[in-house]
Structure 1
Amino acid sequence: MASQTTTRSQDDRTTRRRAIGGSVIGTALEWYDFFLYGTAAALVFNTVFFPTVDPLTGTLLAFGSFAVGFVARPIGAIVFGNFGDRIGRKRILVITLMIMGISTMLIGMLPGYGTAGILAPIALTVLRFVQGFGLGGEWGGAVLMSLEHGDPKRRGLAASWPQIGVPLGLLLANGALTLMLWLTDDDAFLAWGWRVPFLLSAVLIAIGLWIRLNVTESPEFEKLAAEGHRVKHPILEVLRTQRRELLIATGSRIGTDVAFYIFVLFVVTYLTQMVGIEQTTATLVVLVSAATMILFIPVFGALSDRLGRRPVYIGGAVGALLWVFAFFPLLETQNLTLILLADFVGMLCWAAMYGPLAAFTTELFPANVRYSGASLGFQLSGILGGALAPIIAVALYGRFESWVPIAIYVAGMLLITVVSVMIARESSRDTPALTAAELQR
């Protein structure tokens, strides 16, 4: 009997590690696709796809096409979240991986404006929409696979592991583009060098599919299915019974998203176009920041299991709110050490928010609508946060020629996050074994 118990425990740990590993790697590959577009928008898309306008306007148009992906993400969240709550988490994650990978590969094959004219930016925008649609269903499923397979007493840590897929994807995307910048001159990079990382998505699709097809379905979903607790229209159930939770999930991430895209994406534009730093130096800053995030996201996820989701989350938001007023002055010193310090501290604060975010958001919703509710709240905030952040930042600098309005904007969005998290209940001590029907009483 003891031997059987030990074997079962070992099997559970193996299944848990495989589920978490599959979520991390698969999510990293999908965020690679997503961030590759964002970094390319900051570096080359204004020239390749929008060459008929001045550089600043071209950058705005490139970021505008970047924002289209955020508009598509809530649509993907509704569609894939609905199916994820009805037919299972695993199947949806395989589908979203295929959608993301194929659309990214096709972007690498697109002709530029000089060859295809206006059709080139139109096709780019359409493929960006498809990218966002796929990613809309990715996050919720990956997080739930880790959380629902994970140790019930360490849900914050378990759910934080897929979160490092964001900096891993960022690291891969920026690393690939940086390598091509080093291997090619400016003309070659604009002609074909930027396309290579997009085409590599074909290889990543194969790796991601192999991993995800070998992961078992979420045990909580299987329990819901066996007990007959699935609902026919999960997204409608969320809108009918979970409106407060949906608003909290959306508001809690707005500032987190804005801070991320300013510290990671807009910083490339600011350093290269406003400060005058070389592209390779700017992308190096992002690489170092991404590596820092990988280390600290699980640390703060684990800390939220000990201290609670809300204290850790709020601490990170307040820290980022204050730091943004030191962030831009440090960038303008043109000193690499101070620039790295600026982004390191900014991303440390962001990791304190993003580490507990997955558990915080998913624990707001009962298990039978968790995929739909968490995904929709997470992706709605993307429109109000990350989609607009680079555009607003560029527009504010173009209007005032100063970093101060940008810092005020970021601080305002982070204040929304602080308030949203403060009015939420603390969920780190909830009993995870409760059924969906019990949670809704």
Structure 2
Amino acid sequence: MSDKKSRGAWGSRIGYILSTLGMAIGVGAMWRFPMLTAKYGGGAFVLAFFLISIIIVIPAAWGEVGLGRHTKSGVAGALESLAGKKGKVIGTFIALIPLLLMFYYPVIMANVVQYIYYTVAGSPFLADPEGFYNVVANNKIVVFLVVAGLDILTGVICLGGIKGGIEKACKILLPALFVILVVLVVRICTLPGIMEGIEFYVRPDFSQWANPKLWVEAAGMALFAIGCGPGYLITFGSYCSDKADIGTDLVTVNITQMLICVLSGFAMIPAVILFGMNPDAGSGLIFMVLPKVFEQLAGGPVWLVFFLIALLFAGLSTTISAWEVPVTVLIDSFGMKRRTAVIIVTLVAIIGAVPCIWISEFLEHFDYLVGTFLYTAAATGLAVYLAWFYKAKRVREEWINPTSVVKYGAWEDVLYKFLTVPVFIYFLATGFIGFFS
């Protein structure tokens, strides 16, 4: 386990919050959330996502951040301190989930980089977005080279550590992302006739709630968006000071990431409906549908570049955070130097991207496996252990309340044990069935 005295730490409270937001707000918020919202009936999915994020996910997220701060170690070392060698093995497997995410996440970002280039270069792809997307996606060598470049860039940033790498980068990327999104949303929401699209986005069709997969996807998205499950929150919590108000800070992060998800949806879905596009375009929604949307706007290419830059910023903030989870485990639990750990993680990510680039339809199936099933599995396992074996009361009284402005009562223990855990188990079982079906 790591030496607590020599360990790095966040430079400031706002740095920690922005870095955690950088982990939470990524291509998941700007690509995955709009894609799933469109697929599951607009407002019905948005409301389900809100309910799960606010009521069910927060207690589990508190437990994970508290565990990280208490042990001052990454996920493998944190679980080792509670459950011995078995805990270390489980924690090491959990740390692999962000690494698996990085097998396909930069592939999406590589397409974003190419679209920025082609838009600035004035390529006439707006005339046939579907055909152009297929050409870009099928140019495997170029995609691989861009993915490798993004992975290397991420690794270089991670060499700077928590304060000099992640925190510094997110202080720049996150404010820029927010400003770009707000400008885009204002522009799109002032389009003539946009109310029909906004209505689709915000008005829930409650008949959609009868579909169990909507709830499973909403749960996976809620966990994905806050980083609950695969070691992000434990890792980031491990760099918090013993005086940090992690309870309030995490609520702030959760509310803000939900706002970004909503803004991302507003920047896409209402306009898609307005212009009669297909909202259920899957992973190609951004690349096949949005160019048609921006084509209808005055100065369309400029707006498209703004959106793509925002998407790239979001992606980088998340990849930087994802790198840190396995890197921290290699440093804390296996005694590696940061440089060696970063090089290993970067090389594995580059090699792992190969099937996601070259095997057709692999990406979306892999996204469900990692972003929904494995996230839920890890979050469920951690929640069961912390709420029932370590005890929810101890989590609240020893890890959260001592430094929190708000002193939470026993109701939070009840919520954690009797709502969060059973719901997680249900979502895990349903997701397991859905994966194999």
**Common fold, TM-score beyond 0.5?**
no
State the TM-score, normalizing by the size of structure 2: 0.29
State the TM-score, normalizing by the size of structure 1: 0.29
